[in-house]
Amino acid sequence: MKPYTVAVRALCEFTAKQGDLDLRFTPAPSAQEGIEGHALVASRRPAHYQAELTLSAQYEDLLVRGRADGFDAQLGRLEEVKTFKGKIERIPQNHRLLHWAQLKVYGAMLCRAQGLAEVELALVYFNIGSQQETVLSERHAAADLQIFFESLCGRFLAWGRQELAHRSRRDEALTTLAFPHGDFRPGQRDLSTAVYRAAQTGRCLMAQAPTGIGKTVGTIFPLLKACPGQQLDKVFFLSAKTAGRGLALEALHLLKNNVSALPLRALELVARDKACEYPDKACHGESCPLAQGFYDRLGAARAAAVSAASDGMLLDRAALRELALAHSVCPYYLSQELTRWSDVVVGDYNYYFDVSAMLYGLTQANQWRVAVLVDEAHNLVERGRKMYSAEMDQANLRALRLAAPAVLKKPLDKLQRQWNELSKAQAEDYQVLDGLPLKFLAALQLLTAAITEYQVEHPSEVNGPLQAFYFEAMHFSRMAELFDQHSLCDLSKSAAGLARTQSSLCLRNVLPGPFLRPRYEAARTTVLFSATLQPAQYFADILGLPADTAWVDVAAPFKAEQLQVTVAGHISTRYQQRRASLPAIVGLMASQFVAAPGNYLAFFSSHDYLQEAACLFEAKHPQVTVWKQSRRMSEPEQQAFLNRLTLDSQGIAFVVLGGSFGEAVDLPGKRLIGAFIATLGLPQVNPVNQQIKLRMDRLMGEAAGYDYTYLFPGLHKVVQAAGRVIRSSSDSGVVFLMDDRYGRREVQALLPAWWQLRRSEP
């Protein structure tokens, strides 16, 4: 039998970690600081010192491998380097035990590899701030280290054998897995074939496919089929919105029910604030009962979860919560642990694409072979930009200065002076700086160092505003280190009352591609799919896709006569004409409703425009039921809003284009028979977007700026919204495009080819 391979760190975390879950603030070095710290320690060692020593050893059918930080053969000393910030005595005891366990495992493997009778083990704690080393050393006989190594392996071996058996059963089942619907829908087979080939060839794929053909199951199924042949460890299904993740869970539920007890472990990741059972308590054993003794109970909870998942249970939010509470462990951190032992993980984009993304980090650390599915991939443009942007608000600094501990007053005042200097030099309310404000960044670095020291001295003190500012400042500093032509550094001024002004400083990412590219490289294949991925070059440029990325444009299975698309060319929804447009918009909507009563969605460019149109419609046509989207609706409120559109209801739902109801909403049949789109969807012309346009001109060519900033993003929202109407081959409906610019050739080129446009006269 092929041995089960496990990394040293994973082996020790599985077998040697114990005690409480403790997430009280402890300043930790960034990944880059850790790398630099290890390099500095190695540079202090003699020339014969072996850094990054690769070691491996086998125990029965378990292969353990890893890289020890360094070995001095002349001294017979093996070192494990751990970087930290603050005071060494603040390092939790269960962390120290884990560090020693790792070092002892490396020691056992070294003694076996080099035939040593004994070895000195040195745990080197390197303080990032002071750059001082604290060395804790012990001498161990090879025989004792071997006993320790075998004890850990023995405790892990049953789990490893179980994992090998699971992988074998999983791959055997996936090899014979049949498509759950029997037959593919029109277009669905073409999509699935393209996804399967992308996995076979190890390429990225952009797949444009119309709404309603079953893209979710049409992409998950072929990647699962590819798992055995391509030796894929995991499939990550990532979405920007809850609705998309819900569709993925439905598809996985369908697949698992299609085969009796399909041995496929599928896990849903949810945000910490949604999974927390005790939001009023801190995450440590002295406060939260689910954190107390967490690692002591984790083993039983983990075993129960993977057993249930292998037997057919879908580990969604509800199921995972039930399992976690049955074992008195935190549901959120149980889900984090189960990512290691799951075959399919469903979660938000940020779990793989963010600056410190968990799934990406685990993929690299464990050398997993993964396939990544990016649902509604057009959303990755804006989400990617937000992930790699950072902003600081002067109002937060001013508020913090009033309430911060006295010891922080000096560095806070220094940062405030530097911010005031920036404001004095600011000529416009919005201004792009020529480069990074280096004096400001230096003052910010001094302040974060002071806050770090303060929090180390007061680990139990709860100061929410201080900690929030600290994390904001740390992220800003991190993005400043990565700043380049792909981002803008801008300063925005706003009135703050009492004749004072305040400003916000932003590192605004424009082109996320350079940051996203390593994520594609870490995966066997990344499949980006959506109904709106056109023009393909636009998405390839913005998202940094490889040059050999494959492209498939799945033909729509719908007939033109199913969807009557009408351009109301007599209406202008430009900002200056919006109020004047309202009577014509309301009249057109009322005429259509009288001709064909039913459920309609009416999309507007803003909440204000929506409210004005809805109020006029209600005044003119009180007999028609009207529903209005409110600002900042919660997920339950959004679902309740959609639930009003039933097979028997009749009315018009007024919503914002690009919001929660413009995509990933499925209202088949009579639940939705039409859509009114009273906008071209173009982003607002403002100083920020104009600067993004100028930067796009510089990066992509002068002809690209307007299209990349305004036209393409706007029309993507329009096509997504219109896609809510036709969801199956039996659906039919109408779409009204209300703006004269829909008559332009360059605009119509971005609309689905199967649409046949007709014009409406006043």
Mean pLDDT of 584-589: 97
pLDDT at 25: 64
In terms of C-beta density within 10 A (0-12 exposed, 13-18 middle, 19 or more buried), how is residue 610 classed? buried
pLDDT at 285: 85
pLDDT at 22: 82
pLDDT at 685: 92
Segment holding 4, helix H or strand E: strand 4-7
**Residue 516: HSE in the Cβ half-sphere, 13 Å Cα cutoff:** 31
Tell me, what DSSP letter sits at residue 411?
H
pLDDT at 1: 61
Query: In this structure, which topology does domain 389-509 adopt according to CATH?
Result: Fumarase C; Chain B, domain 1 (1.10.275)
Angstrom distance (rounded) from CA 232 to CA 369: 5
Tell me, what DSSP letter sits at residue 710?
I
Determine the CATH number of domain 560-760: 3.40.50.300
Reduced to 3 states (helix: H, G, I; strand: E, B; else coil), residue 629 is coil
pLDDT grade for 496, boundaries at 50, 70 and 90:
low
pLDDT at 703: 78
Report cis status (omega within 30 of 0) of the bond before 535.
yes
Tokens of residue 218, six digits? 């049409």
Q: What is the pLDDT of residues 39-77, one digit of tens each?
A: 999 999 999 999 999 999 999 999 999 999 999 999 999
Tokens of residue 589, six digits? 């909507």
Tell me, what DSSP letter sits at residue 434?
S
Angstrom distance (rounded) from CA 421 to CA 594: 62
61 Cβ partners below 8 Å, 6+ apart?
A: 1, 2, 3, 4, 157, 160, 161, 164
pLDDT at 499 over 50: no
Count of C-beta atoms within a 10 Å radius of residue 364: 11
> According to the 3-state scheme, what is the secondary structure of 211-228?
CCCCHHHHHHHHHHHHHH
Q: What is the pLDDT of residues 222-236, one digit of tens each?
A: 999 999 999 999 999
pLDDT at 99: 95
**What is the residue extent of each domain of the chain?**
4-157, 178-382+513-553, 389-509, 560-760
Q: What is the pLDDT of residues 636-694, one digit of tens each?
A: 999 999 999 999 999 999 999 988 898 878 898 999 999 999 999 999 999 999 999 99
Angstrom distance (rounded) from CA 199 to CA 222: 9
Long-range pairs of 131-135 with CB within 8 A, sequence gap ≥ 24: 131/40, 133/41, 133/44, 134/88
With a pLDDT cut of 70, the percent of the chain lying above it is 98
Mean pLDDT of 697-724: 92
Q: Which residues of 279-318 are buried (b: 16+ CB within 10 A; e: fewer)?
A: eeebbbbebbebbbbbbebbbebbeebbebbbeebbbbbe
CB 561 within 8 A of CB 546: no
Angstrom distance (rounded) from CA 3 to CA 156: 13
Tell me, what DSSP letter sits at residue 353?
H
pLDDT grade for 2, boundaries at 50, 70 and 90:
confident
Q: Express the helix, strand and coil content of the chain in percent, nearest 5 each.
A: 50, 20, 30
CATH for the 4-157 domain, from 3.30.465.10, 1.10.10.10, 1.10.630.10, 3.90.320.10: 3.90.320.10
Mean pLDDT of 529-551: 96
CB 349 within 8 A of CB 334: no
pLDDT grade for 498, boundaries at 50, 70 and 90:
very low
> According to the 3-state scheme, what is the secondary structure of 361-405?
HHHHHHCCCEEEEECCHHHHHHHHHHHCCEEEEHHHHHHHHHHCC
Going by C-alpha positions, the residue among 175, 159, 171 that lies closest to residue 307 is 159
> Residues, the chain, total?
762
Reduced to 3 states (helix: H, G, I; strand: E, B; else coil), residue 138 is strand
Alpha helices in 568-678 (DSSP H): 578-595, 607-620, 635-643
Nearest 5 degrees, angle CA 690-CA 694-CA 700?
135
pLDDT at 677: 98
pLDDT at 500: 58
pLDDT at 16: 86
pLDDT at 94 over 80: yes
pLDDT at 342 over 90: yes
User: For 104, left (φ over 0), alpha (ψ -120 to 50), or beta?
Assistant: alpha
Determine the CATH number of domain 178-382+513-553: 3.40.50.300
Cα–chain center distance at 462: 28
pLDDT at 294: 94
> According to the 3-state scheme, what is the secondary structure of 162-202?
HHHHHHHHHHHHHHCCCCCCCCCCCCHHHHHHHHHHHHHHC
Mean pLDDT of 408-429: 92
325 Cβ partners below 8 Å, 6+ apart?
A: 277, 331
Going by C-alpha positions, the residue among 435, 543, 425 that lies closest to residue 487 is 435
CB 516 within 8 A of CB 384: yes
Q: What is the pLDDT of residues 246-304, one digit of tens each?
A: 999 999 999 988 777 789 999 999 999 899 999 888 888 888 999 999 999 999 999 99
Mean pLDDT of 539-562: 94
Mean of per-residue pLDDT scores for the chain:
93
pLDDT at 280: 86
Going by C-alpha positions, the residue among 581, 754, 536 that lies closest to residue 676 is 581
